[in-house]
Amino acid sequence: MGPGGPFGPGGPFGPGGPMGRGPFGPRGHFGRGRARRGDVRTAILQLLSEEPRNGYQIISTLNERSGGAWRPSPGAVYPALNQLEDEGLIEVFDNEGSRAFRLTSAGREAPEVHADTAKVWDDWADEGSARVDAGAMWRTFGEMSMALKPIMMSGDPEIVTKAQAILADTKRALYGLLASAPGEETTTAE
């Protein structure tokens, strides 16, 4: 599919499209985990402006401060650290036997450190909003799909029909959660 397709700019799933933002977009409830370009870099500089940290501490702190909504991967953090070191904004030092990073004088002057805007992790964890562990939800969904596999492989039409009924009840219960008022009891599938 080319740039004019559904995933290209202006397409329904591309930048500017209805599914490109909102709950399935980069900052939506289901799309969290994809940072905007520069978010990791900015977050590293902001964290190191507080105190020196190693890569693991950077990842853990971002996860904690975003309420579990953002946990950048080592594959995103370590290349960003290398780039910041190459630019002379941070330096590596021996912190009691472990490799840690701190800002250089040039890093302390970086615009990302002095931005009047909110910290990057605040975008991921709105003040007062409930913290949602989307990863746990998707793991549960994956486990459920694994439970369905032996049911389908059994070839028993009665078991498959019962499983379909359970899934239909579960789907209705999930939509019921959205339809009910906050704090209102809903019936769940059993």
In tens, the pLDDT along 86-121 reads: 999 999 999 888 899 999 999 888 887 776 555 766
Residue 68 predicted with pLDDT over 80: no
Let me know if 55 is exposed, middle or buried by CB neighbors in 10 A (0-12, 13-18, 19+). middle
Which of 135-140's residues contact partners 24+ apart within 8 Å by CB, and which partners?
Answer: 135/68
Higher pLDDT, 145 or 187: 145
Q: What percent of the chain is predicted at pLDDT more than 70?
A: 64
Q: What percent of the chain is predicted at pLDDT more than 90?
A: 32
What is the reported pTM? 0.50
> What average pLDDT does range 61-86 have in this prediction?
87
What is the spatial distance between Cα 183 and Cα 177, in angstroms, rounded to a whole number?
10
Query: What's the pLDDT at 168?
Result: 92
Interacting residues of 115 by C-beta distance below 8 A, sequence separation 6+: 42
Query: What's the pLDDT at 12?
Result: 54
Query: What's the pLDDT at 154?
Result: 92
Interacting residues of 157 by C-beta distance below 8 A, sequence separation 6+: none
Name the token pair of 8.
């290209």
Residue 85 predicted with pLDDT over 70: yes
> What average pLDDT does range 48-70 have in this prediction?
88
Nearest of 55, 82, 37 to residue 90 by alpha carbon: 82
What is the spatial distance between Cα 144 and Cα 151, in angstroms, rounded to a whole number?
11
Mean pLDDT, the chain, as a whole number? 76
Of the candidate ranges 58-62, 102-106, 132-136, the one whose mean pLDDT is the lowest: 132-136
Torsion of CA 44, 138, 133, 69, to 10 degrees: 20
Residue type (1 letter), 26: P
Name the token pair of 144.
């459920």
Burial state string for 58-77 with b = 16 or more CB within 10 A and e = fewer than 16: bbebbbebbbbbbbbeeebb
Higher pLDDT, 60 or 132: 60
